[in-house]
Amino acid sequence: MYNPQIETMARPEMESLQLNRLQTTAKKVYENVEFYKKKFEELGITPEDITSLDHIVKLPFTKKQDLRDNYPFGLFAVPQEDVVRIHGSSGTSGKPTVVGYTKNDIKVWGEVVARSIVAAGGKKSDIFHNAYGYGLFTGGIGLHYGVEELGAAVVPISGGNTDRQITLIQDFKPRGIAGTPSYVLNIAEKMVEMGLDPRETSLEYGIFGAEPWSEEMRAKLEETFNLKAVDIYGLSEIMGPGVSIECHEAQDGLHVQEDHFFIEVIDPETLQPVAEGEDGELVFTSLTKEAFPVIRYRTGDIASITREKCKCGRTTVRMSRVKGRTDDMIILRGVNVFPSEIERVLLQIEGLVPNYQIHLVRKGSMDSAELHVEVSSQLYQEIAEDLTHAQIQKMKKQIQHLMKNTCLVTMDIVFNIPKAIPRSEGKAIRVVDLRNSNTVGV
Chain residues binding ligand DLL by CB under 6 A are: 89, 132, 137-139, 142, 209-212, 231-236, 240-241, 299, 301, 322, 325
Considering the complex, what minimum distance in angstroms separates the CB of residue 307 from ligand DLL?
Answer: 20
Considering the complex, what minimum distance in angstroms separates the CB of residue 13 from ligand DLL?
Answer: 28
Considering the complex, what minimum distance in angstroms separates the CB of residue 96 from ligand DLL?
Answer: 10
Considering the complex, what minimum distance in angstroms separates the CB of residue 251 from ligand DLL?
Answer: 13
Quick one: which of 372, 386, 368 has its CA closest to 420? 372
Is the CB of 224 or the CB of 320 nearer to ligand DLL? 320
Is the CB of 326 or the CB of 406 nearer to ligand DLL? 326
Contact 128, 176 (CB under 8 A): yes
Q: At residue 426, what are phi and psi to the nearest 5 degrees?
A: -145, -120
Is the CB of 122 or the CB of 241 nearer to ligand DLL? 241
Considering the complex, what minimum distance in angstroms separates the CB of residue 243 from ligand DLL?
Answer: 8
How many angstroms separate the CA atoms of 138 and 44, rounded? 36
Find how far residue 87's CA is from the centre of its chain. Answer: 17
Cβ neighbours around 296 below 10 Å, total: 19
| CA-CA-CA-CA torsion sign (142, 138, 276, 297) | positive
Bridge partners (DSSP) of residue 101 are 85
Is the CB of 162 or the CB of 299 nearer to ligand DLL? 299
Considering the complex, what minimum distance in angstroms separates the CB of residue 416 from ligand DLL?
Answer: 25
Name the closest residue to ligand DLL (Cβ).
209
How many angstroms separate the CA atoms of 422 and 411, rounded? 20
Considering the complex, what minimum distance in angstroms separates the CB of residue 238 from ligand DLL?
Answer: 8
How many angstroms separate the CA atoms of 133 and 397, rounded? 38
Considering the complex, what minimum distance in angstroms separates the CB of residue 87 from ligand DLL?
Answer: 8
Considering the complex, what minimum distance in angstroms separates the CB of residue 225 from ligand DLL?
Answer: 18
Contact 434, 360 (CB under 8 A): yes
Considering the complex, what minimum distance in angstroms separates the CB of residue 328 from ligand DLL?
Answer: 8
Is the CB of 211 or the CB of 264 nearer to ligand DLL? 211
Is the CB of 27 or the CB of 325 nearer to ligand DLL? 325
CA 342 to each of CA 89, 183, 370, 399: distance values in angstroms, whole numbers, following the listed order: 26, 18, 12, 11
How many angstroms separate the CA atoms of 84 and 57, rounded? 32
Is the CB of 319 or the CB of 409 nearer to ligand DLL? 319
Is the CB of 289 or the CB of 380 nearer to ligand DLL? 289
Q: Residue 133 burial (CB < 10 Å; 0-12/13-18/19+)?
A: buried
Is the CB of 26 or the CB of 254 nearer to ligand DLL? 254
Is the CB of 26 or the CB of 113 nearer to ligand DLL? 113
CA 103 to each of CA 28, 41, 107, 109, 291: distance values in angstroms, whole numbers, following the listed order: 17, 31, 6, 10, 9
**Which runs of consecutive H residues, i.e. helices, occur in 295-388?**
339-346, 377-385
Is the CB of 211 or the CB of 258 nearer to ligand DLL? 211
Number of H helices, E strands in the chain: 12, 21
CA 134 to each of CA 114, 130, 148, 239: distance values in angstroms, whole numbers, following the listed order: 18, 9, 15, 15
- H or E element in which residue 421 lies: none
Is the CB of 336 or the CB of 377 nearer to ligand DLL? 336
Residues in the chain: 442
Considering the complex, what minimum distance in angstroms separates the CB of residue 74 from ligand DLL?
Answer: 18
How many angstroms separate the CA atoms of 330 and 245, rounded? 27
How many angstroms separate the CA atoms of 326 and 231, rounded? 20
Q: At residue 435, what are phi and psi to the nearest 5 degrees?
A: -70, -25
How many angstroms separate the CA atoms of 149 and 12, rounded? 29
Considering the complex, what minimum distance in angstroms separates the CB of residue 322 from ligand DLL?
Answer: 4
